[in-house]
Amino acid sequence: MTALKDIVIDWLLSYGQLAVMISIFMNVVISVLGVVPSVFLTAANLAVFGLWPGMAVSFIGEAVGAVVSFVLYRKGFRKAVEWKAMNHPKIKQLLEARGKEAFLLILALRILPFMPSGVVTFVAAVGKASLWLFVLASSIGKIPAILIEGYSVYQLIQWSWEGKLVATIMAVFLLLWCWKKLRTP
């Protein structure tokens, strides 16, 4: 992450006042791709813009990225509901959800720290949730997620290499544990 973060920092700094727009555009691309974690961009935003402005730029970028992804996914992937991964109970529930139920599911899934944003956006887009409901629930859910991610990344940037190593090891174990729990019926 450090090398990519440093490249993005150098790039953003070289564009001066366009840096905010470039960062938002990069977040949109990351969101559309759906599988690239945005943590390196959040770290770069914090380094370039500072803690609170960096989190604000990350929030705006992720919110805009989620909307663009939702619209593109809805137009291009409606047929994907036959996909094997769509058989997970929570995913099936979101696919069929409308109104208040869809709002609460999207909100809850956005707040979960290890739920990939691309999966939530994709399932909501091919499901029955409206664009405006998605925008509202997704944006509200992104607020605590960005605060947690931004503050965590900021603290990791401030730590020594030993603290970063311990945090990485803990994160790997937590991810493995979550992956094992999700695979167990």
pLDDT in 10s for each residue of the chain, 185 residues: 568 888 999 999 999 889 999 999 999 999 999 888 888 899 999 999 999 999 999 999 999 999 999 999 988 876 555 555 566 676 777 778 889 999 998 988 888 766 778 888 988 998 889 999 999 999 999 998 888 888 888 877 777 676 677 777 877 877 787 777 777 76
Q: Which residues contact 7 (CB under 8 A, 6 or more apart)?
A: none
Q: How many distinct structural domains can be found in the chain?
A: 1
CB-based contact 178:114 (threshold 8 Å)? yes
Residue 95 is assigned to a structural domain of this protein = yes
Q: Considering the domain boundaries, does residue 184 fall inside one?
A: no
Domain span holding position 7? 2-159
Q: Is residue 172 part of a domain?
A: no
Pairwise CA distance, residues 146 & 75, whole Å: 27
